[in-house]
Amino acid sequence: MRWRAIPSRELSWHRLESALVLRNERTGSTHLLEPPAGEVFRALLQAAAWMTAEDVARASDEALAIVADVLPELVRLGLAEVQSP
Amino acid sequence: MNVAELPLAELARRLVGSGLRLRTGAVVTQIRSSIAAVRDGIALLYAEHPVEPDEGFADFRVRIALRGGPRRWIKRQVSFQFEGTAPFHPLPAAQAYPVLEWGLNWCVSANCHQYLILHAAVLERAGRALLLPAPPGSGKSTLAAGLAARGWRLLSDELALIDPGTSSLVSLARPISLKNASIEAVQRFAPGAVMGAVVHDTLKGSVAHMKPPSESTRRAPERALPAWIVLPRYEAQAPRRLERLPKGRAFMHLADNAFNYHLHGRKGFELLVGLVERCACYELSYGELAQAVEQCERLAA
């Protein structure tokens, strides 16, 4: 499976200390992503392209097991999209 | 002219007639009522608030009225009317004054969307504002009353109005609503504070209102820039504990305690981010009002 963040134009985000706060402009919902979820999401945002979980783990410097847990949660929150093979 | 300069008979005449146009900081409300408890509460608790001319502008027109109909012979009730409509169920007549205060809060929180409105008390010292965002029952108004009694300028005990253009806090400076044990706690802490009548058996228990200090009313046109965000949490017997609050959590707490954050869209998000970034953020647990006040004094020192 591959993953990517929703388009950046649909998102307002800001780093507050070690956390990310985000507003999804599509849904109007606001989220707090504390580490490691914030780091995983930042990696997706910066790539702005489809990534495997392994790519995200490398880019975020987080363990693959953590990344694998976080990515579906980001999809559930409407912050990321998933592409199945 | 302020309320105290109106003879009581003239105050009653205006309330019964064309309405009293009362300025509470940024807001002017035209109030009408023939109920003595409303008149007496306004005379006592808004004594130093400005009265606007009869023909002047009012943001809201409200009326506290005894309900008519046959039910009035069984149980006397009052209704809060806003622009000719009754947005709430009537309540027992003995609660007329609290109904006015609750209704005035509603007028602002439901209508003043030119501001980002947070459920928070706001006090100011030396131009720097302290926000106490919290849900009911957290000791927010109690702490606000204690700080006001120690010389902090009260902007509001309930509604923080943030101007999106300047990020400054706008004053409402109205009486502080105290409930149950906090009434006695504040009376003990500040015996000189002017308190209105205690009204029992409301939905919130016993309630009483404390008159804002004169300085807070006089300086209501002055805005303040936010400097501290403190989440108060009252727990009986709890030791005082001040802990740094991560800014991300402070942000979410403010968003969760906002009345109209969703209406401000991206601008509201950016406004809250800016607010949190400029403030030192803490959680404060307390069981004794004096200790909590002392802790806030230390923050501001």
Residue whose token pair is 């007329």: B96
Domains of chain A are 2-83 (3.90.930)
A contacts of B247 (beta carbons < 8 Å): 16-17, 19
Q: For residue B233, what are the CA distances in angstroms to B34, B119, B142, B248, B250?
A: 39, 14, 11, 19, 14
pLDDT one digit per residue (tens) for chain B, 301 residues: 999 999 999 999 999 999 999 999 999 999 999 999 999 999 999 999 999 998 889 999 999 999 877 666 678 999 999 998 999 999 999 999 999 999 999 999 999 999 999 999 999 999 999 999 998 889 999 999 999 999 999 999 999 999 999 999 999 999 999 999 999 999 999 999 999 999 999 999 999 999 999 999 999 999 999 999 999 999 988 899 999 999 999 999 999 999 999 999 999 999 999 999 999 999 999 999 999 999 999 999 9
User: Is B192's Cβ below 8 Å from some Cβ in A?
Assistant: no
Measure in Å the smallest separation between the Cα of A32 and chain B Cα atoms.
Answer: 7
**Centroid of chain to Cα B273:** 24
Residue A23 β-bridge partners: A12, A30
- Amino acid A18 reads S
This model of the complex carries an ipTM of 0.92
What confidence score (pLDDT) does residue B70 get? Answer: 67
A contacts of B255 (beta carbons < 8 Å): 30
Residue whose token pair is 């309330």: B15
Phi, psi of B297 (to 5 degrees): -60, -40
Give CA–CA dist B147/A62, Å, rounded. Answer: 46
Is B8 strand, coil or helix?
A: helix
- Amino acid B297 reads E
DSSP letter (8 states) at residue B206? E
- Amino acid B146 reads G
DSSP state string for A37-64? HHHHHHHHHHH-S-B-HHHHHHHHT--H
